[in-house]
Structure 1
Amino acid sequence: MTGATDPRDSIVAIFRAFLRLGFTSFGGPVAHLAYFRAEFVGRRRWLDEETYADIVALCQFLPGPASSQVGVSLGIMRGGLSGGLAAWCGFTLPSAIALILFAYGVAEFGDLEHAAWLHGLKIVAVAVVAQAVWAMARNLCPDRLRATLAVGAALLTLTIPTELGQLGSIGIGACVGWLFIHEPVKPIDARLGFTPGRSVAIASLVVFAVLLVALPFLAETSGSHTIELISRFYRSGSLVFGGGHVVLPLLQQSVVPPGWIGNDGFLAGYGAAQAVPGPLFTFSAYLGAALGPKPNGWLGGFVCLLAIYLPSFLLLIGVLPFWDGLRKRVAVQAALRGVNAAVVGLLLAALYTPVWTSGIQSSTDFGICIAAFLLLVFWRTPPWLVVVLGAIVASTMAA
């Protein structure tokens, strides 16, 4: 391994490296992983191919935003926990700030329910999620069993549209994978570089569990809206497998039914999140800024951003020191295959509601949607450009 434990780069240098990626990494989590590989394996040679693949495998196993967790892992390996924080800030802040500013713009223009450009964003959101379902299903459901598992997870999630439905789908997927999805496993000999000590890891896992249990209780007993907000976003970040698209129904259930934000405003932010670089989890910053009850604005944006990312930080720090042994277990890899298939089902359910049911209202909408899907899947057009084109086309046709 090259350079994984060599602290030649200062915290500022790590921040700058990831800041450049934060401004330029369009295309979603899979594209982000490709950007990371080109920058840190190919150009900077911070680590080798095998070690990078191990880090990606770990972050796919954990709940939370996989691409952000890979970036944090690389920062930790290069500069310790401070390096991980610098990597996260550099990669996350550009899109988070852009979406907070977008929320201020939405507030300034007032009622956007009938805005044509907003409807265009919702239409393109359908195509973007459909592209994610298409790509993930091809890679993660290559046989009848996993395809059936994905459809079953979608049906369960639609029948029980709460966190319980999602958790049940993930749990069933893990059990089915562990029992029935067995494939040859290639021996793994490479070791990771710098990781937090085991005492730090255990403390991190304890804090994660305590917050997951205590925050809902504190929110109920204190009556504090701020604690309730932190609790809901922390829970969303704790329970989602598969990254930003899959967190959509969890966040929708957290903020729309209580009346904190309308469904149109919710989907407007989701559409805008496609047009900015960086991780899709920064959608939480938009929601925090756009909410009706305080804290909102820039303060609410950063509260929600930190709350949704905190569990993935704690889990990553807690598991990283133990991953060398865990990742070699055949049962763990089999369970992960089932979880990945269930994730496809969760995303399929999200494609129907709230994305499709709110975005497609006419044959014209459907036409714009399939054109956007064509551009994304077959013409490989950058998602941000498709989002812009969708807003322009919808506005033009409504004029």
Structure 2
Amino acid sequence: MRTQVVIVGAGPAGLTLAHLLHRQGIDCLVLEARAREHIETRVRAGVLEQPTVDLLDEIGLAGRLRVEGMTHHGIRLRFDHAMHRIDFADLTGAAITVYAQQELVKDLVAARLAGGQPILFDVDDVRLDGVDTDRPRVRFRHDGRERTVDCDVIAGCDGFHGISRASIPAGVLTVHERVYPFAWLGILARTRPSCDELVYARHPDGFALHSMRGPEVTRQYLQVPAGTDLADWPDERIWTGLRRRLGHGDGLDLEEGPIFDKSLAPMRSFVVEPMRYGRLFLLGDAAHIVPATGAKGLNLAVADARVLSYGLGHHYATGRWDELDRYTARCLRRVWQVQQFSWWMTAMLHRIDGTQPFDERLRAAELDRVVSSRAAATTLAENYVGLPFATGWVWRG
């Protein structure tokens, strides 16, 4: 088998890249270790930045999103028994869209398959060979058969635990990492949203977040210690914690209902540099992880795909590698800006055990400034709705 680009991983990064390449006439093969049903039902992120929605509009994949997605023009910050609104529309003229990642993956998969473009699901034993040469090769098993694909470039979009980053020799990558001493306990509940926008709450017991996945399903989170056992959190304890931390009034009256999904998400900041080794390029969680507080993981993966698609389009149109050589620098500029914002939001809103009372008062002062200063609120809003893409980064052919 032969193709121009092999994409390892059918998540938002890999599938968005595949669509952007197809629009430029670049052949690619998408390999996915999981079944289609798994990637289309796995509960993940649910907030899309304005630039992400605009890109999906541009490539004709925002039809269902525009109908079923929930556009929010602000968020609420609750602390010291009071609710404060950050008005995105007023401060930036932009918005966010609440649309579950699995729904976006469904749209991307359906569009690719409808166009006759290949995605191989349930792929096993993937091996990347020759990535530091001009003849990279991907070996894998599919439908019980050993297969080999020769290509020009490999895009590693297979997540934090995938094979792509692990295929790079030790010592090549510089790893930057921060592990936080807490996690998020997340639930999905069959309840109507208790507020028309996301509510971020800072409370002496710890952080809480009220979000939604539609008019009849809510997604809610509680800060818990790292290493927490889900068995220690029965439904009633979860609802008690949410009621206490989120409070009531000011447009929020928490509605309780059946919980049908529980999960624990560790909080980590992680970046590798460079995001390329030879002909292998890392995208999304394969290259970086951000704390979920800023709702940036999916959006950052899409941004990586946009940058790589531009570089590949330029390469196949001109034969030059100079734009691909800029891939790491272009991606990391946005990655580190997003890391800073996510760290800032996390530190400002979470209880951090073991810190001095002085530091706690500093975090409280920071939060107070955000809701009392238009300049500070604008900084939060600009980052939350999504930093603009640099112009000229999508190759038109």
Higher helix share: 1
Give the TM-score normalised by structure 2.
0.25
TM-score, length-scaled by structure 1: 0.24
In terms of fraction of residues, the more strand-rich structure is: 2
Q: Which has the higher contact order (CA 8 A, sep 6+)?
A: 1
